[in-house]
Amino acid sequence: MSIKKVMVIGAGQMGSGIAQVCAMAGYEVVLQDLKDEFLERGMNNISKNLQRQVDKGRMNDDEKARVLSNMKTSTDIQSANSVDLVIEAAVENMEIKSNIFAQLDEIAPAHAILATNTSSLPITEIAAVTNRPEKVIGMHFMNPVPVMKLVEIIRGLATTDEVYQAIEEMTKKLNKVPVEVNDFPGFVSNRILMPMINEAIYTVYEGVAEPEAIDEVMKLGMNHPMGPLTLADFIGLDTCLSIMEVLHEGFGDDKYRPCPLLRKYVKAGWLGRKTGRGFYKYD
C-alpha cells in the first residue's frame, strides 16, 4: 500500500496542521474545505507556521517553498478521485462525518484508505456507511499538530492489518509516534483527559476554587505544563462538551456527565480562546 497523494478534509486548526506535516514529509497534499475563505485562512496559518521555522533557523526559504509547492487547495470533494489516503478533519459530529465518508466511498479510488481525525467518535460506526470498512481507520492527531508527537491509531472492527501497518508507517514518516488504540469512546487520550477537565470545571461550579487557583494546583502540584481550565479554553469548550457527551452516551455512566457550567458557557458562546472568552478572557 503505497501512499503518495493525501487529501485532508477541513482547513481549520487541526486540518491545516495535518496538511502541513504531510507536505513537510514530502507527500502531495490536497487541502479541501467548503469555502475559499476557509482554505485561505488555513494556508495563511501554514505559511506563518513555516515562516516561524525559518526565523528560528530550523528551515530555510527553499525548504519552506518546497513544502508549499507540495500543497494544493480545493473546494470540491471530487478532488478525492485521485488520492491514496483521505484524512478527514471536519467538525466533531457523527452525522457530518458519516455524510463525508459516504461521499468519499463513492469518489475515492478503490485502493484509497479513508482515515478520520475524530477525537472520540466510533470508527466502526463511521466505517459502516462505506463499502470499504476494512480500509477505514482513525488517525487522532494532537493539537497543535506540527508540535505534538502523538498520533492515536484506532482500528475499526473491520480494519485490516495491512491498512493499520500502512498508516503506522506513514505516521513515522510524519515524524510522529504512533500508538495503537482500540475503538472505545474517547479512545485513550480523551477518555482520561476529558473527565479530568470536566472535574476541574465542577470544582469551579461548586465554588471550591477560582480557575487560576485550580490551574496553579495542577501545574505546581502535578507538574502539568498547562492547567486543565487553560487547556479546556485552548481546545474549545464546545469540543470538550461534545466529547463528554460521547463518553456519557457511549458508556452510560454518570461519571462522564458534563458539568452544567460547561453547558452554560457553551450556550453563552464562551467557547474559550477562539471566541475571546471561556474560563479566562483573551484579547
Residues carrying an active site annotation: 119, 140, 152, 190
d(CA 267, CA 228): 20
- 173 annotated as belonging to a binding site for a ligand: no
43, HSE (Cβ side, Cα atoms, 13 Å): 20
- 48 annotated as belonging to a binding site for a ligand: no
Among 53, 232, 271, CA closest to 143: 232
- 276 annotated as belonging to a binding site for a ligand: no
∠ at Cα 206 (270, 231), nearest 5°?
45
- 143 annotated as belonging to a binding site for a ligand: yes
Among 72, 66, 52, CA closest to 5: 72
- 186 annotated as belonging to a binding site for a ligand: no
Only one residue has cell 493525501, namely 6
- 57 annotated as belonging to a binding site for a ligand: no
Alpha helices in the chain (DSSP H): 13-24, 36-55, 61-69, 94-107, 123-127, 161-173, 189-205, 211-216, 222, 228-235, 237-251, 260-268
- 162 annotated as belonging to a binding site for a ligand: no
- 10 annotated as belonging to a binding site for a ligand: yes
Only one residue has cell 465554588, namely 207
- 278 annotated as belonging to a binding site for a ligand: no
Among 98, 134, 104, 103, CA closest to 118: 98
- 16 annotated as belonging to a binding site for a ligand: no
- 165 annotated as belonging to a binding site for a ligand: no
Lateral strand order in the sheet of 85-88: 71-74, 28-32, 5-9, 85-88, 113-116, 136-141, 150-155, 177-181
- 23 annotated as belonging to a binding site for a ligand: no
Known binding residues for NAD(+): 10-15, 33, 92, 97, 119, 143, 274
Known binding residues: 10-15, 33, 92, 97, 119, 143, 274
